[in-house]
Amino acid sequence: MKTAVIGGSGYAGGELLRLLAVHPFFHVVSVSAHTNAGEAITSVHPQLQSYTGRSFVAVETIDFSTIELVFLALPHGESSALIAKIPENVKIVDIGADFRLEDAQQWQKYYGGDHAGAWVYGLPELSASQRTAIAQESRVANPGCYATSISLGIAPAVDIIDVSDIVVVAASGTTGAGRSAKINLSGSEVMGSLTSYKFGGVHQHIPEIEQALTSLSGKKAKISFTPILAPMPRGILTTITAKLNSPITTQSVHDLFSKAYEDEYFVDVLPLGQMPKTAALTGSNKVQIQVAVDEHTDRLIISVAIDNLGKGAAGQAIQNANLICGIHEGAGLSADGLGA
């Protein structure tokens, strides 16, 4: 399938290109980058030597009538502005936020600007019906990276916890903040240091997590979320706690999660005693999960690790594209991470 990547100069765009270079069905014919148009792809992504001799183009030069599949890897607000230029028969996966939220007021509160509407939410493992819904559509809203780790960490437990009292602290690598030059993301500022950001429940992924969990549980979900910037390039480690509805053992919760994800190729519920580790997932589309019950406070504790550029962005985008194109869900995706 003739494929275009719009926004190929960013970290997520670069990871998309890396994965697509060996995809058995998706052939990249156009890669756009606004400020880098005309530059060699390898000058921005020197690791992508399979793209030697090719350059970024301006999106205005792409003839979308010749394209069958488009990946959008743009800042929020930019995807919706481009959609009118893409024929309706072209399949699209948007890695940005523009089509994730169903509630226009929530969009206004967390993002601002005009609400573009909502596409099917591209989190296949959220439920069996979600995967079916994705496969029946041609345009998918890829979830946010934090939203992926949090929603998949909570989903199997929605019937045993108070979904209105969920507390999350999650640390992400610096690639999650984008590629633009910022003082607070420079090596001297980040190395050897941890810092919270978007403090006080203002992170833009909160509404999509609450939307997904409310739909899944049938009850109003509320998340108190504190993100942390970690001194590493990529990876997310999420810790979730929630009040239990009634006493339950760690083994019983582990059995619940294991059963929920037993047929999910990209989700591993680790054996008790083994903890998720971000380095184990670098470069993969996998999710690692561990659970425990804090009997002292009657709260469930869930630990989740993903690669924010893999399952949190580019890997999941390809997984969704595979679904809407009717091919094997894992085509072109790595299950194993690089490790330490």
Per DSSP, 119 falls in state: P
Measure the CA–CA gap between 45 and 25, rounded to whole angstroms.
23
Do 193 and 138 touch, CB atoms closer than 8 A?
no
If we measure between CA atoms, which residue out of 285, 288, 289 comes closest to residue 313? 285
Strands (E), the chain: 2-6, 27-32, 69-72, 91-94, 120-121, 139-141, 161-172, 195-196, 223-229, 236-244, 267-269, 287-294, 299-306
Q: Identify the structural domains of the chain with CATH numbers, from first to last.
A: 2-142+311-324 (3.40.50.720), 146-308 (3.30.360.10)
Q: Which of 230, 234, 226 is nearest to 192 (CA)?
A: 230
Measured CA distances, 177 to 8, 233, 326 (Å): 16, 10, 32
Residue 8: HSE in the Cβ half-sphere, 13 Å Cα cutoff: 36
User: Of 218, 219, 178, nearest to 197 (Cα)?
Assistant: 178
User: 14, 4 in Cβ contact below 8 A?
Assistant: no
User: How far is residue 51's CA from residue 39's CA, in Å, rounded to a whole number?
Assistant: 12
Residue type for position 313: A
Query: Catalytic residue among 28, 82, 145, 242, which?
Result: 145
One-letter amino acid at 34 equals H
Clarify whether 325 is annotated catalytic.
no
Spell out the per-residue pLDDT of the chain, length 340, in tens.
999 999 999 999 999 999 999 999 999 999 999 889 999 999 999 999 999 999 999 999 999 999 999 999 999 889 999 999 999 999 999 999 999 999 999 999 999 989 999 999 999 999 989 999 999 999 999 999 999 999 999 999 999 999 999 999 999 998 876 666 566 667 767 788 899 999 999 999 999 999 999 999 999 999 999 999 999 999 999 999 999 999 999 999 999 999 999 999 999 999 999 999 999 999 999 999 999 999 999 999 999 999 999 999 999 999 999 999 999 999 999 878 887 6
What is residue 179's predicted lDDT score, i.e. its pLDDT?
61
Sort 126 into a burial class: Cβ within 10 Å, 0-12 / 13-18 / 19+.
Answer: buried
Per the confidence metrics, is the pTM higher than 0.85?
A: yes
- The size of the chain, in residues, is 340
Question: Which ranges in 218-284 belong to alpha helices (H)?
Answer: 250-260
Q: What's the one-letter identity of residue 249?
A: T
Q: Are 237 and 171 in contact (CB under 8 A)?
A: yes
